Amino acid sequence: MKLRDISRIILAVFFIAAGVNHFISPGIYLPMMPDYLPWHLGLIYVSGVAEVAGGIGICIPKWRRAAGWGLIALLIAIFPANLHMALNDIPLNGKHLLPWVLWFRLPFQLVMIAWVYWSVLLKKPEAQ
């Protein structure tokens, strides 16, 4: 098994677990939602569905590229919630995080996007 395959499996497990958690513990995510967004609980469920679908999709070759782009779009879409957390010291699961942790989450979104791109979307080099 190649490194990209292992990486894709790790991503799939991460996104599926995170998505399922949106249904098991939606209350954890409610404080993260910026006030200007409507339908907080509905958006939490929609993002949970997107994470589960994306995690499953990147495991199925036919759906891999679409799922990869969907996960990248999701990571961009949740950025405002992470920014809201950092700007307003929003607790996670009732616990305040260190400020550097909250701010670290913002550039980490770029790492996650790059990880999805590399393991799911990057074309394999042509055989020479």
Percent of the chain with pLDDT over 90: 76
Residue 33: inside a domain: yes
The set of residues, in sequence order, having a beta carbon less than 8 Å from that of 55 and lying 6+ positions away, is: 11, 12, 13, 14, 15, 16, 19, 67, 71
Residue 64: inside a domain: yes
Residue 125: inside a domain: no
Per-residue pLDDT at 120: 95
Confidence band, pLDDT 50/70/90 cuts, at residue 94:
confident
Residue 127: inside a domain: no
Tens-digit pLDDT profile for residues 31-70 = 989 999 899 999 999 999 999 999 999 999 999 999 999 9
Per-residue pLDDT at 126: 57
User: Taking 50 as the threshold, does the pLDDT of residue 115 lie above it?
Assistant: yes
Confidence band, pLDDT 50/70/90 cuts, at residue 90:
confident
Split into its structural domains, the chain has a count of 1
Provide mean pLDDT across the span 114-123: 94
Per-residue pLDDT at 125: 65
Structural domain of 96:
3-120
Q: Coil, strand, or helix at residue 95?
A: strand
Residue 85: inside a domain: yes
Whole-prediction pTM value? 0.89
